Structure 1
């Protein structure tokens, strides 16, 4: 009888299951040297991890590549058929949406963004257009206008970078915004890219803290091709730096440049 009472008491005690761990997210970056120099995908993964989120990013990137090339070679379509991604991040070659290579490149770029956005939607994946940047203030404004219009036309979210960078360039800090070549992303821009994307996916800005990216920190000469590659996969060139540490002070500076989400 005593045993029966004990069993009944145990059954009546509510079961408190531990909170399940947050599910891992998978992100696909599609772009060019603006995407891989400084390894924005790996910086994004590390920033997410520093904020308690599990993210694993892949990338289809090649120096000087356009989004139209990725439509034509079918590489993005194959990647979306092979793996279930939570987000696809598109970044166009610098200047294409400003018709820097002639009026045809603008049309091709907008068409490619729409095509890739459609592929993402068909696979149940949300697409984003990650902006590029211009140093000249008037060119920056024109670029943001063109990128925003292309995103609206494709029905996807636009992640603006150039105007934020205009403000950040005047902020004294230890890390360079651009690469020593003055064109490609330095650690600062890679972090800005990652923070803008983090806020879009998480719905809130990342909490500033020091974090280390243990992944290839690609330079302009990378050896990368349009094949799908994990952000932390071993690099083709053994001379590629293997890590970078972002101090909390720099993360603070970048996070402070992010807009406050509506409703906050």
Structure 2
């Protein structure tokens, strides 16, 4: 009997985790703040799935609403509250398309620049790394102008900038058969959502992703039912009947975009 008790105690001891053993790190939390450019195709969930498939543990949440500006998120305090409760390591800001081009007047784009600065400062105070994710314009001159304006706003706020518009314009010419735009011809299609996610991945981790992945989350269209409140990127859709569930990006597509992006850099 004593022999069996000794063997049992040795077995239990062998199953216990040693005191100095390293536990798996918690997923890096990323908070996306934006509008329909952010949620159509569910960029936050797509980025998390891409990162996790490529050996970077990530959990994404978002504060998004159609037509929203960053100035509105400063005014309602939702980002400040989410930073305190969610505690993200990374804060990704995406402004309403063209807002920084001053098309609605200098006062509007000045308010946008100030909002980027305010949210950047709030993010840094909470310990988050802050990035401004670019929007896009189809016309070549407008595309170059939005990149210049966004880069200047990010520089003024002291945060990183993830360029999209010029990359999209070039890649959509070189790979015109890919679904760059949503059915409405304006919002992101699957290829553009993947481009956004890959550009963010490269900016955060310093290397290109190598593997395809599956997004097990709502794939939002323009009509989403989303409001400007903190929610997990993979949370059930408010309008399930109007929202597709899940999509897949292949290894081949990821490698194709890598090759196109790296071709630009040569």
Partner of 2:227: 225
Partner of 1:10: none
Unpaired runs of at least 5, structure 1 = 1-14
1:184-223 deviations in whole A, cap 9, x for unaligned? Answer: 000011101111111111121111x332111000000000
TM-score (norm 1): 0.88
Instruction: Evaluate the alpha carbon distance shift between residue 129 and residue 259 of structure 1 in structure 2; reply closer, same or farther with a 3 A threshold.
Output: farther
SS in 2 for 1:63: coil
Partner of 1:237: 239
CA contact (8 A) 1:37 1:217 kept: yes
1:214-264 deviations in whole A, cap 9, x for unaligned? Answer: 10000000000001011000000012000111122221122224459x9xx
1: distance between equivalents of 2:148 and 2:255? 27
Shift of 1:174: 5.5
2: distance between equivalents of 1:145 and 1:228? 30
2: distance between equivalents of 1:226 and 1:36? 11
Runs of 4+ in 1 over 2 A off after TM superposition: 17-23, 171-175, 256-260
Partner of 1:126: 129
Q: Which moved more, 1:73-82 or 1:247-256?
A: 247-256
Q: How many residues align?
A: 246
Partner of 1:186: 189
SS in 2 for 1:60: strand
Higher helix share: 2
SS in 2 for 1:77: helix
Shift of 1:23: 3.8
Alignment of 1:114-263 (within 5 A): 114-172=117-175, 175-207=178-210, 209-238=211-240, 239-258=242-261
SS in 2 for 1:245: strand
Unpaired runs of at least 5, structure 2 = 1-17
Partner of 1:103: 106
1:137-159 deviations in whole A, cap 9, x for unaligned? Answer: 11100000000000000000000
Instruction: Indicate whether 1:92 and 2:95 are aligned.
Output: yes
1:102-154 deviations in whole A, cap 9, x for unaligned? Answer: 22111010000000000001111110000001111111000000000000000
1: distance between equivalents of 2:48 and 2:154? 24
TM-score (norm 2): 0.88
Shift of 1:175: 3.7
SS in 2 for 1:29: strand
